[in-house]
Structure 1
Amino acid sequence: MSQILFRADGNAQIGLGHVMRCLALADMLKNDFLMRFALVEPTLEVSATIEKAGLSIVSLPESSQQTSFLAQIHPDEIVVLDGYAFDEAFQQSVQERAKKLVFIDDLIDGHQVADVIINHAGGVSDIDYDAEPDTHFCLGPHYALLRPEFLNPADYGEPPLDGPIFVSLGGADPHNTSLTVLDAIRQVDTTLAVHIVLGPFHPNRAAIESYKSQIPNLTILQNLTAAEMVNELQQCRLAITACSTISYEVCAVNRPLIGIVTANNQSRLARFLSEEKLALSVNFPTLLTRLTPVLGLDQLVKLAIQAFQFSPENAADLLINQRRFFDGQSPERFRALFRKLST
């Protein structure tokens, strides 16, 4: 059986986005490949997540992470990189040792030498890249790196009119943007039911817990499985998330979405969600102009929630547009790709 070696990191500073994208791809390929996952000194939480997915772990020392990783590569192995430290020189070194190199990207920065580039953000084309002439591109939501539970569009049903508001601002949420979102919901209606999902690296759960005195119908959840996340999304009437992979999960389950930019690397995805009308991106205009917003984030989120409340047609249009881009067929596309790479 052919082999794949994944290389990504996840921690409280950078969140879990890189790791989760790799694990989503690994799940799509698990029946065809033997797989390992290399990380720099992974935490217990990250190790448990990877081991639960059935992958063995290669722990790399911080001081010599690049040379240690290169020494791990087998010549018959496909290497998948996902991260911001893997520049042209490093990619070249990997490519010299591996059977094939696949690079999962969301920055479109620098010269790429990988055999395959995966970027599931919408609105991206191969001409945006500085890459080798024979590089193969897998771009857009048809190559969405989502866990299998999010790839069954016929099973999710219509959004309930009386469901809770779902909130999730990523695995780390270092600035506790979740608290700002809760304050916006409080300003709309303190009686609204809210289900907030915190990631394993959330910096201050106590501050979220204290908000129960202001939003009595607040339910706090943490470290949910993919199946549990799907269940929460199926129940919700509206989701408020970061413009990251979680926003794609909402679109795949087909629910009204308010997107918030919580990191610079989310700007392209925010643009796509806004321009294709898959989500209402509340601070996208500010992101484009780099101007100081006239309204604070809490006020922008409050207005976005009210827009859905008073204009249900906004939600209906978003749902139609989401279904155009998320067809649940990305596993078949990736399996065909990797089978070809392994021959």
Structure 2
Amino acid sequence: MYVDSTRKELGLLSTQDLKKCQVQIRRWVENLRVVCQALSAVDFVVVDSYRVDQPMVDLLESQAGNLLFIDDFHHFHYRNAWVVDWSLGLEQHPPTGWRGYPKALLGLSYAVLRPAFCNPLPPREIGVLREVFVTLGGGETSSHFAYLATRLAQSFPDLQFYATSLEQSKAPVDLPNLTYVGRLDSSAMRMRMREADLVVCGLGQTAYEVLSQATPIIPIALVDNQAGDIAAWRAAHFAPFVLRGEAPELFALLHNAIEAMRSEEVRAEISACMRTLALREGVARLMTRIGIILPHH
């Protein structure tokens, strides 16, 4: 695994992850020879980076026989590589440049989730709205996190809020109904999502983890690569409230959405729709299409 990053960012990987993988911090974007030299000795290459450009795609395709790009911007032309984007709605509306491309793997059926979120889904009872979990990702969303978590707790004193963000160490205001739970591993994250009656999160990978748990959700598109997903989410039966992070009236919209979510009937209907989603075999489906046989477990 080559990580074109800093050691601080590498700290987001758990110690257990590091023990399982050979992780090297390399400036491979500026020095593609490092990657190209390694390609001759590997069976499969997966590329996931927003710093990749079309010349890099062309070079890597010329060097690797089995190559997969994770690409949710749909910027590039692929000649023979696999490309995957498991964003909602792409099955029905593929990106213009990829229509008819036989190696494009698109839509929720290819969603790759952390193992904890692939466990069997226990029954859920929908009751009175009591607990809300707020999780808004990394550094680019930390200002939203501090503002929203605090304002929500102040505006809904009858609700208990739990909050986590990769970058925010503590909510700036101490409130009796706001608990910052720190950075959570996948198992703790799943438990917190299951225990919550409602989750407020970014419209990225975390949103798909929430979908897998059938917990009612209010997603907020906070970064550029999430903007294209808004229409598909708004058209879904399980996401009646999808917000834009740059909206000047964001808090007012979020406040109204939570008020609407007080309805047990609304949340029960949303959760029932979410339980029908096939979100636990994405890796297996992806590997089957590519032709790689996974171990039985």
Match of 1:27 in 2: none
* 8 Å Cα contact 2:5-2:25 kept in structure 1: yes
Identity of aligned residues (%): 20
Match of 2:67 in 1: 101
1:138 corresponds, among 105, 111, 122, to: 105
* 8 Å Cα contact 1:270-1:281 kept in structure 2: no
- 1:120 positional shift: 0.5
Match of 1:20 in 2: none
Do the aligned partners of residues 41 and 112 (structure 1) sit closer, same or farther apart at CA in structure 2, a change above 3 Å counting? same
1:197 corresponds, among 159, 164, 176, to: 164
Amino acid at match of 1:325: L
Amino acid at match of 2:173: Y
Match of 1:39 in 2: 3
- SS at structure 1 position matched to 2:121: helix
* 8 Å Cα contact 2:202-2:220 kept in structure 1: yes
The aligned length equals 291
1:186 corresponds, among 127, 137, 153, to: 153
CA distance in 1, matches of 2:27, 2:220: 35
2:16 corresponds, among 46, 52, 55, to: 52
- 1:44 positional shift: 4.4
1:240 corresponds, among 200, 206, 227, to: 200
Do the aligned partners of residues 316 and 65 (structure 1) sit closer, same or farther apart at CA in structure 2, a change above 3 Å counting? farther
Alignment of 1:234-273 (within 5 A): 234-273=194-233
2:252 corresponds, among 291, 294, 299, to: 299
- 1:245 positional shift: 0.6
Do the aligned partners of residues 114 and 268 (structure 1) sit closer, same or farther apart at CA in structure 2, a change above 3 Å counting? farther
- SS at structure 2 position matched to 1:130: helix
Do the aligned partners of residues 282 and 91 (structure 1) sit closer, same or farther apart at CA in structure 2, a change above 3 Å counting? closer
Do the aligned partners of residues 116 and 50 (structure 1) sit closer, same or farther apart at CA in structure 2, a change above 3 Å counting? farther
Which 5+ residue runs of structure 2 have no aligned equivalent?
none
More helix by share: 1
* 8 Å Cα contact 1:91-1:114 kept in structure 2: no
Match of 1:82 in 2: 48
- 1:159 positional shift: 4.7
CA distance in 2, matches of 1:63, 1:142: 30
Work out whether 1:336 is the aligned partner of 2:288. yes
Q: How high is the TM-score relative to the length of structure 2?
A: 0.86
CA distance in 1, matches of 2:99, 2:233: 29
* 8 Å Cα contact 2:113-2:280 kept in structure 1: no
CA distance in 2, matches of 1:181, 1:195: 12
2:276 corresponds, among 324, 334, 341, to: 324
CA distance in 2, matches of 1:194, 1:168: 11
Q: How high is the TM-score relative to the length of structure 1?
A: 0.75
Do the aligned partners of residues 148 and 66 (structure 1) sit closer, same or farther apart at CA in structure 2, a change above 3 Å counting? same
Alignment of 1:80-229 (within 5 A): 80-125=46-91, 127-131=94-98, 135-155=102-122, 157-159=124-126, 161=128, 163-199=130-166, 202=167, 204-206=168-170, 208=171, 210-212=172-174, 215-229=175-189
* 8 Å Cα contact 1:243-1:259 kept in structure 2: yes
- 1:205 positional shift: 3.1
RMSD of the TM alignment (CA)?
2.8
Question: Once structures 1 and 2 are overlaid, which stretch shifts more, 97-106 or 48-57?
Answer: 48-57
Amino acid at match of 1:319: S
- SS at structure 2 position matched to 1:64: coil
More strand by share: 1
* 8 Å Cα contact 1:115-1:134 kept in structure 2: no
- 1:59 positional shift: 1.9
* 8 Å Cα contact 2:150-2:178 kept in structure 1: no
- 1:131 positional shift: 4.6
CA distance in 2, matches of 1:161, 1:220: 22
* 8 Å Cα contact 2:89-2:108 kept in structure 1: no
Do the aligned partners of residues 333 and 216 (structure 1) sit closer, same or farther apart at CA in structure 2, a change above 3 Å counting? same
CA distance in 2, matches of 1:65, 1:190: 53
CA distance in 1, matches of 2:40, 2:11: 22
- 1:89 positional shift: 2.0
